[in-house]
Amino acid sequence: MSLIDSFLTALANLRRHKLRSLLTMLGVIIGVAAVILMVALVEGARSRVVEEFRQLGSSLIIVVYDPSLRKRGETPGSIEGLRMEDAQAILQECSSVKMVSAEFTVGNQKIRYGAEEMDATVDGCQPEYLYLHNLQMERGRFITQEDLDTWAKVCVLGKEVQKRLFGNRDPIGETVEIAGVSATVVGVVAPKGRTFGEDWDKRVFVPITSLQKRFVGIDLVSVIFAQPRHPERTTEAMDEIWQLLMRRHDNQPYFRVDSQERLLSSIGRVLSVFGLVVGAIAGLSLLVGGIGIMNIMLVTVAERTREIGIRKAVGARNRDILLQFLIESMTLSGVGGIIGILLGWGASVLVGWVTQQAKLFGGEGLTTHLPLWAATAGFLFSAVVGIFFGIYPAWRASRLNPIEALRYE
């Protein structure tokens, strides 16, 4: 019997015992579907994180003050947070740093124009903010150094803020109220969308000095973004910044200096651990499915003992019988693998659609992506399960004595 004949025989047996075959394949189907769904979610999350970091800016170093690093009961001493002077010192004294942007963010502030009102995030920023965060101007201008020097009462609107307050009218030169403080609109930023759940289009940008002096009355900054002169020397730039902060703040290590690459690596490790946990659970399901295949193949060998005897009596060799039952086992698990791949892919599409419709996870839902290698690996792995758990029943079938097999009732 040729390989094709053995394969066709296997398919015929599947059709002959549809329910039994389906129940036998169930473990493989669930296991492969779980692996496919997990890979689609992890790869989708990974690609989304990479894209959102790209939108945030390229080769950025992020510097923040983290009071949680202070030991219990320890007084802050001279440390209260980052200041504009720290950003200026990083730019002037760190030779590996090309550009710096100090920022201070205040969330959910009332923005008014006439009878129109909405809540928006207010970002106090410097001119470099536009470049470091890959923003484009749609009209007007961005914050200038002169605005910072004079604590100018000016602002730049995100696209959604402009639409909500002004509709189709040109807002340039108009006056809006930001948390009760008047500011003249000098520009509108082109639409950017969301990154990490934050809507860039629902933001208002003001000079950071104006925000500090006129709005909140403190000199601190929320974060400092720095761009290294050479991306391949990011680690060197981070070390320089860290040493500078230690000198300026009495060696009190209450700061975090991270790069996009390091944050991406950390997120990647978390996603990999999640994938391993789900993969282990799916592996157990495949193990159960493999045991089910072995059991049903042993039953099949017993049911077809006379058939095996007849085939051997007319010249079939042991290896012919072995190959036939091995192919049947592989076909059983392979079909289960294909169903599992389709089921996992369909589940990933459904999860993405449901979370998008429900506006979960930052309003954009989950991103799913199923690479070709995952589908291929899922099918090959299911076939390997068929070989591994089918080898013993196939060996038993091949070792049957033809005379005793013909006597079997």
**Helix intervals (H) in 314-371:** 318-357
Question: Cβ(6)–Cβ(323) under 8 Å?
Answer: yes
DSSP 316: -
Domain boundaries, the chain: 3-53+266-407, 67-253
| Helix, strand or coil, per DSSP, at residue 340 | helix
Token code pair at residue 238? 């981070």
Q: For position 402, what pLDDT does the model report? A: 73
State the CB neighbour count (10 A cutoff) for residue 103: 22
In this structure, are residues 45 and 367 in contact, taking their beta carbons and an 8 Å threshold?
yes
Strand 61-65 vs strand 82-83: parallel, antiparallel, or unpaired? unpaired
Work out whether strand 194-195 and strand 154-157 pair parallel, antiparallel, or are unpaired.
unpaired
Contact between 224 and 66 (Cβ < 8 Å): no
Closest CA to 21 of 283, 313, 286, 300: 300
CA angle, residues 101, 105, 106, in degrees to nearest 5:
160
Buried b (16+ CB within 10 A) or exposed e, 263-290: eeeeeeeebeeebeebbeebeebbeebb
- Structure tokens belonging to residue 244: 């500078």
Q: Which residues of the chain fall short of a pLDDT of 70?
A: 1-3, 5-6, 10, 53-58, 69-80, 196-197, 358-365, 405, 407-409
Q: Distance (Å, rounded) from C-alpha 119 to C-alpha 109?
A: 5
Q: Is the distance from CB of 153 to CB of 179 less than 8 angstroms?
A: no
Half-sphere exposure of 136 (CA within 13 A, CB side): 6
DSSP letter assigned to residue 233: G
Q: What is the DSSP string of 274-291?
A: HHHHHHHHHHHHHHHHHH
SS3 percent helix, strand, coil of the chain, rounded to 5, is 60, 20, 25
3-class DSSP state of 214: helix
pLDDT of residue 78: 45
Nearest partner of 205 among 260, 262, 138, 256, judged by Cα: 138
Six-digit token string for 139: 């009209």
Q: Is 355 within 8 Å of 347 (Cβ atoms)?
A: no
- For Cα atoms 97, 99, 103, give the angle at the middle one, nearest 5 degrees: 120
The 3-class secondary structure across 127-192, one letter per residue, is CCHHHHCCCCEEEECCCCHHHHHCCCCEEEECHHHHHHHHCCCCCCCCEEEECCEEEEEEEEECCC
- What's residue 283's pLDDT? 80
Location of structure tokens 């990154």: 195
pLDDT in tens, 327-349: 888 888 888 999 999 999 999 99
Query: What's the pLDDT score for residue 50?
Result: 73
Query: In 3-state terms, what secondary structure has residue 224?
Result: strand
pLDDT at 362: 59
